[in-house]
Amino acid sequence: MSSSPSRFGRGHTDDLMSFLSASPSPYHAVASVAERLEKAGFRQVEETDAWDGTSGGKYVLRGGAVVAWYVPDGAAAHTPFRIVGAHTDSPNLRVKPLPDTGAHGWRQVAVEIYGGPLLNSWLDRDLGLAGRLSLRDGSTRLVNVDRPLLRVPQLAIHMDRSIYEKGLQLDKQKHMQPVWGLGDTREGDLIRFLEEDLGLAAGEVTGWDLMTHSIEPPAYLGRDRELLAGPRMDNLLSVHAGTAALVAAAGSDSLPYIPVLAAFDHEENGSQSDTGADGPLLGSVLERSVYARGGTHEDRARAFAGTVCLSSDTGHAVHPNYAERHDPTHLPRAGGGPILKVNVNNRYATDGSGRAVFAAACERAGVPFQSFVSNNSMPCGTTIGPITAARHGIKTVDIGVAILSMHSARELCGAADPYLLANALVAFLEG
């Protein structure tokens, strides 16, 4: 089987850096995806409207999730789907319902821990604030204060010498509340500040979904700039690659499958929401696409039976300082191409037949790939892969890019790996 020319190169990684900077929250991430889809000729469809069976690119937005698909001319109702699955959320600090707090002359913002962040990576770092505001008239507005606004100050070493013996011990409630000013706490202060920042009238904001982000931009790193450091690579790297791959695959009317991008929210805390992978969003969109093209329940069953999903999420590159934490025969390297994730206890959804599908796509794209399996003494995490397979009854394969510092405020990968992943995804979507 001959390989096809690569679609993406270093420019893809440059664009990823812009995407990361523009996407400090899941709501911003799906807006960034929608902007790219619109430029490629996709159109948004509302879930509350009746859908038609016309060909072309379409997408649905729901909160911090997006599902996009491209229907080639003449696609039968039972045409199977090829899905790239990813998630838009990342571990961080999120603002509580009563955000204004403080003590001893410091004004602070009350935050709750979202997902499983490496807490120490959020200390002594200049933080911005971003997310979604719900307004009195029922509309929503995105907000992004992308400047030094908050900081979680670490206790000086002179006041905790035990760090030398015990290491840093952080209490999630007491030690992670950021400061943002001096003076007495004033109720409603944070929301008033955001209303002023957006030019809204006082009292117009009645609800919010807000989170902190590091304001330090992504950057190439190293002597030869062969590494990429940046925030939220878990898992906006996959969202970006999946978007680029879908746009590249769209436009061909000889596709044997209907290519799909499904980027969900709330993966970091279990996926159980109306925008999570364990919710009905993906199944609803796929079914409606079948029925809009005149399909029956039988056509839906046939389409799902032939569907394959690549669940793309970041994984663990071998750490040079902790190599013993990895399986000794599976040591994925940064810069070595995407990884295939395997776990026989179904924490990942990959099986042998799924491996063959991914291997074939990588071969067509001329992309190397690696395998990841956890050390038997250290049970692995999980992804949207097993959820997608079980909920929808479709073959799912877990893949991704190997990174270091997963769940840190700032992560690290090989600069070539994002475009190697994107090239493999194009080959997969095109069949």
pLDDT mean by block of 10 residues, the chain; 431 residues: 64 98 98 98 97 95 98 95 98 98 97 98 98 97 98 94 90 97 95 97 97 98 97 98 97 89 97 97 98 97 98 98 96 97 96 98 97 93 96 98 98 98 98 90
Strands (E), 55-139: 56-62, 65-71, 81-87, 92-103, 106-114, 127-135
Q: Which residues contact 346 (CB under 8 A, 6 or more apart)?
A: 386
DSSP conformational letter for 373: -
Decide if 277 contacts 390 (C-beta within 8 A): no
Q: Which amino acid is at 100?
A: D
Q: Known binder of ligand: residue 297? A: no
- Going by C-alpha positions, the residue among 368, 371, 373 that lies closest to residue 335 is 368
- pLDDT at residue 349, as a whole number: 97
Q: What is the CATH number of domain 92-214?
A: 2.30.250.10
Q: How far is 263 from 86, CA to CA, in rounded Å?
A: 5
Sign of CA dihedral 101, 267, 88, 132: negative
Q: How far is CA 117 from the centre of its chain?
A: 14
- Taking a C-beta distance cutoff of 8 angstroms, is the pair 75, 58 a contact? no
| pTM for the whole structure | 0.96
Alpha helices (H) along 199-325: 233-249, 281-292, 297-305
Q: Is-contact 186 64, C-beta < 8 A? A: no
CATH no. of 10-90+231-430: 3.40.630.10
Helical H runs in 22-129? Answer: 26-39
Instruction: Tell me what pLDDT residue 116 has.
Output: 97
Query: Taking the domains of the chain in order of start, what are their residue ranges?
Result: 10-90+231-430, 92-214
* Sign of CA pseudo-dihedral 243, 244, 245, 247: positive
87 carries a ligand binding annotation: yes
From CA 220, how far away is CA 195, in angstroms rounded? 35
> What pLDDT sits at residue 7?
85
Judge whether 89 and 236 are in contact, CB under 8 Å: no
| 3 state DSSP class of 300 | helix
Residue 252 in tokens? 């061909």
Whether residue 313 contacts residue 348, with contact meaning beta carbons closer than 8 Å, is answered with no
